[in-house]
Chain A
Amino acid sequence: MAVTIIKNGYVFDPLNGIDAEVQDVFIKDGKVVVGLTGAEARDAKVIDASGKTVMPGGVDSHSHVAGSKVNAGRLMCPEDHYRSVRRKTDITHSGSGYTVPSVYKQGYDYAAMGYTTVFEAAMPPLEARHTHEEMRSTPILDMGAYMVFGNNWFVMRYLKEGDLGKAAAYVAWMMRTHKAYGIKCVNPAGVENWGWAKNVQSLDEANIHFEITPREIIRGLAEVNEMLGLPMSLHLHANNLGHPGNWEVARDSLIIPSGLDPKSKAELEWAQTKESARRRQTIYLAHAQFSAYGGTSWRDFCSGASGLADYINSVDNVVIDSGSVPFGPATTMTGDGPAQHDLYMLTGQKWSNCDVELECGSGILSLVYSKSSPVHSVQWAIGLEVLLLIKDPWKTIMTTDHPNGGIFTQYPQVITWLMSKKARDDTAKESHKWAYDRSSLGGVDRELSLYEIAVLTRANPARTIGMAHRKGHLGIGADGDVTVYDLDPTRLNVNDPEALRQKFAHPEYTVKDGQIVARRGEVVAVPEGRRYYCRPYVDEALEKEALADVKEWFKYYTVGFSNYPVPDKYLKNPVPIPVNKPLEAVARR
């Protein structure tokens, strides 16, 4: 019986309202328990966390870590690999890659940084096999993937016909078939137009052939999401992403699902939490930084973050992740083909592009965010503004949209900027003057506490994607995922940013399911992670109708229908989550 005690640490567990209380954390058979028997305690592995910070294991709710576009990013950039090499050890594989690491290196680097759960943000249905293959090969991490639906021919057709039931039936079948966790919507209506070298410019511009608008798709998918009762809300990559002046489109997109109730009909066992572990939002905006631009061109480019933040401060149904820009090399990769092409025309950097048949598209571009660039400096500022101007930390999640705005290994740097005004001022001094001149960041005095950092990096990402039944907190029954940082909260000095960054970069311990997996940046154990996906159900007759349509249009696909689903063997340690399951189906099982 594996028993671990994390003793005497300052515990930060926001979902249980615990703020720097000195407590012991007991983990038995991988789960947090209330206490141990005398015999158990004697045999326990004890981690002395005296004078140290203890948080739940890190949760990344939006990262690009598996699938064909990720791998294309690796193939496009050999220079990213020969300059960043990891040697094998007795227990770990070798690996390479800085902005897009190989699968093994990804798993090790996340774990060494205190993260134990990472969700892939965009899985095209046709690339689901590839995505699952990479997740299967990623060590240590618990994972899942959101499926891209915003330009799917069947979804657009059903929503145009006003047939929400069939749309839901199709989405449910697709999620079960491809083992997807949530619904992602990327530049709705626009990516379909990209097949004709076009985009859509506003929420009410209908696209070619399907004649459906972004507004109709966002509303439709948000309703489908709540009809099915998925653990996570609709996850939106807004229209006009990456263009000056786009913040209003982002705000208007967030208004669209107003009035919907967040309903999770997932069958789950809930670990104990003091605060509600259920999501409040009906829309989760991805990488807000890329959608919070002011101005009308790159010449008068400025931050639009305050307008977006004002709206989000006024409502309760929105969560954002930041997509912060910590400077340095990046590889942008999204399902937003036209946005990537615009970026290519702007920068002339290495670019590739892909059309995913009836489903979506994608583009990849390699670039370096530089402090001397006026635009990049403003992007840096916006990526922090969106986290600092939105008052309620439960509406925000810290990400870099890895590897788009920056690399996940730069999270400690982003955390440092959030916690230290001095760190921001120091960086602003080294950056182009637009950083503070064209944003409000210079006037922001807010410095996030360790408690708020725990919300932004664990509790809220877990709650937002519906994983807080077991992740993002240390309540009884939660997964025994814990990070111990060598930070004494009573002697915290945020005016030494580099020391702070180092502490977040190399936690003392990363514990996964009660087992120490990393120690001061060294991987010391390599367990296999789990793969979460949803199995939503709808009325069988409706699903049959939708499936008949799928089979009819399958002549437009380049693969055979029987080769379309992802077989079970593609997943290691799968954890299916039944959603909206009729009682009789449960009984039959």
Chain B
Amino acid sequence: MAKIVLKPKGEIGITVEAEVIRPEMLAAKKRDEIERLQVWQGSEELPLGDFFDVETTGEGSSDETTIVIDGDVPRVKYIGKGMKSGRIEIRGSAGMHLGAEMSGGSISVHGDVLSWAGMEMKGGLLQIQGDAGDHVGSAYRGSWRGMTGGQILIEGNAQSQVGGGMAGGQIVVGGSVENFCAIRQNGGLILIRGNAVRGLGAEMTGGTVAIMGSIRQFLPGFVEVGREESLKLGDLQIEGSFVKFSGDFAIHRTPKGLLYWREG
């Protein structure tokens, strides 16, 4: 087993694009090799060592490697981008695009994350103990194909467009979401334990979204199709009495999207 600890050296001004921080890139590298890896900050390419103190212990392949970021890094983007294996633990908050396009391994964050966490994720596990920004597990600008696999677990709240264009996998939000959660969803599962503001399931053509709290403005493109007691969705068992809707008829003649709302 190998452990690589990156300790932030201080406050970062212009955001740093650090897609090199993933097990595949850091595993089996010596401390000075890791420090010399190049990252972009604005128009400059600089060594990772300018931003982090690096310590390594043990040895191992990428799936045996844990990267620990020991502190807050809200100005560091793309951590774990495209990672396939291993572990990243962030003992603080993380910047945008955390775990974007990851296909395996796991990331856990003790604090909050900014927007685009798990963007177009294909597999693996992304755990966030704090709050998340916009576009969790969604498609990137212009694209309609969001997350296709893996799991995103958020203990706090998330902002708008959670699971935009989602085609597979699972997102669980312990708190509440804001606008247009599940927009253009066509597969996969989203569970919200709290509330949603408006636009929940907009232009949805497939997949499932379940909400246990309130929806401030419900979309007119959804039609009630039944009721269910105690929902079983994948490996999730949720107690309560649910109203089942189908939609979004505003975008499609025969949409296969399902929206469950817990009464009371």
Q: Which residues of A contact B (CB under 8 A)?
A: 76-80, 82, 348, 350
Query: Can you name 15 A-B residue pairings with CB atoms under 8 Å?
Result: A76-B142, A77-B142, A78-B141, A78-B142, A79-B139, A79-B140, A79-B141, A79-B142, A79-B143, A80-B142, A82-B140, A82-B141, A348-B251, A348-B252, A350-B144
Residues of chain A with a CB closer than 8 A to B142's CB: 76-80
Q: Which residue of A lies closest to B144 (CB)?
A: A350
Residues of chain A with a CB closer than 8 A to B252's CB: 348
Among A76, A79, A82, the one with the most B-chain Cβ atoms within 10 Å of its Cβ is A79
Nearest CB of chain B from residue A577's CB, rounded to whole Å: 40
Nearest CB of chain B from residue A77's CB, rounded to whole Å: 5
| A to B contact number (C-beta, < 8 Å) | 15
Q: Which residues of B contact A (CB under 8 A)?
A: 139-144, 251-252
Nearest CB of chain B from residue A220's CB, rounded to whole Å: 41
Expressed in whole angstroms, the Cα–Cα distance for A206 and B142 within the complex equals 40
Expressed in whole angstroms, the Cα–Cα distance for A348 and B248 within the complex equals 13
Residues of chain B with a CB closer than 8 A to A76's CB: 142
Mostly, the A contact residues are helix
Expressed in whole angstroms, the Cα–Cα distance for A79 and B251 within the complex equals 22
Among B142, B144, B251, B252, the one with the most A-chain Cβ atoms within 10 Å of its Cβ is B142
Residues of chain A with a CB closer than 8 A to B251's CB: 348
Expressed in whole angstroms, the Cα–Cα distance for A350 and B141 within the complex equals 13
Expressed in whole angstroms, the Cα–Cα distance for A86 and B141 within the complex equals 19
Q: Which residue of A lies closest to B143 (CB)?
A: A79
Residues of chain B with a CB closer than 8 A to A77's CB: 142
**When A and B form their complex, which 5 residue pairs have the shortest distance between CB atoms, in order from nearest?**
A78-B142, A79-B142, A79-B143, A78-B141, A77-B142
Expressed in whole angstroms, the Cα–Cα distance for A191 and B252 within the complex equals 27
Nearest CB of chain A from residue B68's CB, rounded to whole Å: 30
Nearest CB of chain B from residue A82's CB, rounded to whole Å: 7
Nearest CB of chain A from residue B133's CB, rounded to whole Å: 19
Nearest CB of chain B from residue A437's CB, rounded to whole Å: 27
For the complex with contacts A79-B140, A348-B252, A350-B144, 4 further pairs of A-B residues with Cβ separation under 8 Å are: A78-B141, A79-B142, A79-B143, A82-B141
Expressed in whole angstroms, the Cα–Cα distance for A77 and B140 within the complex equals 11
Residues of chain B with a CB closer than 8 A to A82's CB: 140-141
Expressed in whole angstroms, the Cα–Cα distance for A79 and B144 within the complex equals 9
Q: Which residue of A lies closest to B252 (CB)?
A: A348
Expressed in whole angstroms, the Cα–Cα distance for A350 and B140 within the complex equals 15
Q: Which residue of B lies closest to A80 (CB)?
A: B142
Expressed in whole angstroms, the Cα–Cα distance for A80 and B144 within the complex equals 12
Residues of chain A with a CB closer than 8 A to B143's CB: 79
Expressed in whole angstroms, the Cα–Cα distance for A421 and B167 within the complex equals 37
Nearest CB of chain B from residue A545's CB, rounded to whole Å: 49
Residues of chain B with a CB closer than 8 A to A80's CB: 142
Residues of chain B with a CB closer than 8 A to A350's CB: 144
Nearest CB of chain A from residue B252's CB, rounded to whole Å: 7
Expressed in whole angstroms, the Cα–Cα distance for A350 and B145 within the complex equals 13
Expressed in whole angstroms, the Cα–Cα distance for A79 and B141 within the complex equals 6
Residues of chain B with a CB closer than 8 A to A79's CB: 139-143
Nearest CB of chain B from residue A433's CB, rounded to whole Å: 26
Nearest CB of chain A from residue B183's CB, rounded to whole Å: 14
Nearest CB of chain B from residue A241's CB, rounded to whole Å: 25
Residues of chain A with a CB closer than 8 A to B141's CB: 78-79, 82
Nearest CB of chain A from residue B97's CB, rounded to whole Å: 12
